[in-house]
Chain A
Amino acid sequence: MAFDVPDGLRYAESHEWIERRDDRFRVGITDFAQDELGDIVFVDLPAEGETVTAEAAFGVVESIKAVSDLYTPVTGTVVTTNDRLSSEPELVNEEPFGDGWLVELTSDDDLEHLLGPEGYRAQI
C-alpha cells in the first residue's frame, strides 16, 4: 500500500511529522502510523503550557487494537492542542496531516536531525 508522505514536512523515525508554521511547529502522526493503529478512539495530549522533551513520550493515542505513545520530534512548549480530537478522534485516521493534527509547539530546536520525505518514505 502506498502511504501519503507530503513534501514540506519533516519526519521522526517514530512516525510523527512536524511542520514549521510561522513562529510555531505543528505535530501529528503519519499516514503510515494511523494505518498501523487502525480505528483511533482516544487521544491523550499534554495541557497547554506544558513542556515537552524531544524523543520523550508526551501523549498517548489509543486505537481499538492498540495503545501507542506519542513522541515529539523537538523540545518545546505546548501552545495549543487539537480540541476536536476529544470528540472526533477518527480525524487522525481520516486526515493525519490535516484536521487530525495533534499539538502546536514553540521550540528553539531546528529540524535538521529529522528525516525528509524521501528518507521517511525509505523507512516505511
Chain B
Amino acid sequence: MPPRKPALYQLHSAAGADFTDFGGWEMPVEFDGIREEHTAVRERAGVFDVSHMSEVSVSGPDATALMNRLTTNDVGELDAGDAQYACVLDERGVILDDTVVYCYPDRDGYLFVPNAGHGEQMTDRWRTYAADLGLTVDVENRTDEFGLLALQGPSAVETVDAVATDDLAGVGRFESVRTDVAGVSCLVARTGYTGEDGFEIFFDAADAERLWSAFEGVQPCGLGARDTLRLEAGLLLSGQDFHPEEEPRTPLEAGLEFVVDFSTRFVGRSPLCEQREAGVDERVVGLRVEGRGIARHGYTVCHDGEAVGHVTSGTMSPTFNMPLAIGYVKTPFTDPGTNVDVQVRDRAVDATVVDKRFLESLERGQREAQ
C-alpha cells in the first residue's frame, strides 16, 4: 500500500521538507535541520504536522466501561475536557500501543489517539470487545477526518493564544477546550510529546492549510526533531521502544506503571499483577553515552563483557550535545550510575545508566556549558 499523504503535503514539499514513511504516512522528517528545529522548540516554539496520528471516538452509554476495560488508566477520573495518558495492553499484559484519552469538553464520550497506523486495529479491538461484553457504544475511526498540529515550546502557549478566540492560558496541563483558532473550530489540548509546554490542536482536515498558515513564522519541525525532543524528555516511542512482537514489554518493564490503575479491570491486568508480585527481569533505563558514537536501536548493552540489555532508541542530543539512548537492561544493572558499555559497530563505547527523563536528570550545568 503506498503511503498516505497528509493534507499539508504540498505545502511541506514547497517549504523544502524531506519526507519519510512513518506508520504508513509520508510525513516531513526535516525542514531546516534537526538541530535547528530542536533548538527552536527548546528555546521558543515549533509547529509540527502530526496528522499521521490516529483518532478514534468512543461514545454511548457504556463508553466509560469500555475505555476502562481496554486502557490501563481510569477514565472515570476525567472531568469534561480532561486528558489522560494510558497504555493499551493485550491479554498477556504486553503493550499494544500507548495513547492519550481525551474526555470531550463539549459532548459525551472520548477521543483517543493511537499512534500512526494503529487507528483501524484499535477501532476493531474496541468494537470486538464491545460486542463480546454486550456494551452499547459507538466506536468510530476518525483518522481520515482529523488534522493534528502540535505547537510546542516555551512560547507556544502565547503563540496559539494569540490566534484563538478563547483565552487559552488558563487551560491546564492535560486539559482541553473547544475554541476557534484562526477561525477554525478546534479541540485544543495542552498536551505534547517534546517535554515542553504547548498545545496539540485537532481540527477538520479540510481546514489544514488555513490553520498551518496561521502559524507562519513559527519554526516548522519534522519527525526528526520530534524524535530527539521526545527522547530527551524520556518519552517512549510506540513500535520502537515497545512493540507487541519485536519488543514485547509490559508497562512495568517500560516504566509506565504510573498510567496503570490496578483498581480497574483492564485487559492484561492479571498477568501484570503477577509480574508486579514477581518483579521484572528487565527494565527501561536511560543511557548517557560517554564515548564517541551514537547508541542506536538494536545495539547491545554490556557489563563486564556480558550482554545485559539492548538499546531501543538513541540519538545525539542537541540540547546536551552528547549521545543519549533509551533501552532495556537486566534489573541488577538499572541503578543510576551503573557503568555499562554499548557495542557501537566494532567498538565498546562507555555509557552510564541514568534516569531516562534526561531533561531533568542530566545536570543543568551540563546543558549550560554547551
Mark A residues whose CB is within 8 Å of B: 1, 38-39, 41-42, 44, 60, 62, 64-65, 67
Contact = CB atoms under 8 A, between A and B. Distances in A.
B316 A67 contact: no
B293 A39 contact: no
Among B34, B316, B318, B323, chain A packs the most CB atoms within 10 A around the CB of: B316
A39 B316 CA distance: 10
Contacts of B16: 1
12 contacts: A38-B30, A38-B33, A38-B34, A39-B33, A42-B292, A42-B316, A62-B294, A64-B315, A65-B29, A65-B30, A65-B34, A67-B296
Given A39-B34, A65-B29, 14 more contacts: A1-B16, A38-B33, A38-B34, A39-B35, A39-B316, A39-B318, A42-B293, A42-B316, A62-B293, A62-B294, A64-B224, A64-B316, A65-B34, A65-B315
Top 8 A-B pairs, shortest CB-CB distance = A41-B316, A39-B35, A64-B34, A64-B316, A39-B34, A42-B292, A65-B224, A64-B315
Contact of A38 (B224, B323, B345): B224
A41 B34 contact: no
B294 A67 contact: yes
Contact of A64 (B292, B293, B318, B345): B318
B180 to A, nearest CB: 37
Nearest to A90: B35
A60 B224 CA distance: 21
Contacts of B292: 42, 44
Contacts of A62: 293-294, 316
Contacts of B323: 41
A1 B16 CA distance: 8
A41 B316 CA distance: 7
Among A1, A39, A42, A67, chain B packs the most CB atoms within 10 A around the CB of: A39
Contact of A42 (B29, B224, B228, B294): B294
Contacts of A41: 294, 316, 323
Contacts of B318: 39, 64
A64 B292 CA distance: 13
A39 B224 CA distance: 11
A62 B314 CA distance: 12
B5 to A, nearest CB: 20
Contacts of B294: 41-42, 62, 64, 67
A62 B289 CA distance: 15
A88 to B, nearest CB: 12
A66 to B, nearest CB: 9
A40 to B, nearest CB: 9
Interface in B213-236: 224, 228
Nearest to B345: A60
Contacts of A38: 30, 33-34, 224
A44 B293 CA distance: 9
A22 to B, nearest CB: 32
Contacts of A65: 29-30, 34, 224, 315
Contacts of A39: 33-35, 316, 318
A85 to B, nearest CB: 12
A38 B227 CA distance: 14
A39 B16 CA distance: 16
A62 B292 CA distance: 10
A86 to B, nearest CB: 8
A60 B292 CA distance: 12
B229 to A, nearest CB: 12
Interface in B278-305: 292-294, 296
Interface in B329-370: 345
Contacts of A64: 34-35, 224, 228, 294, 315-316, 318
A44 to B, nearest CB: 8
A58 B344 CA distance: 16
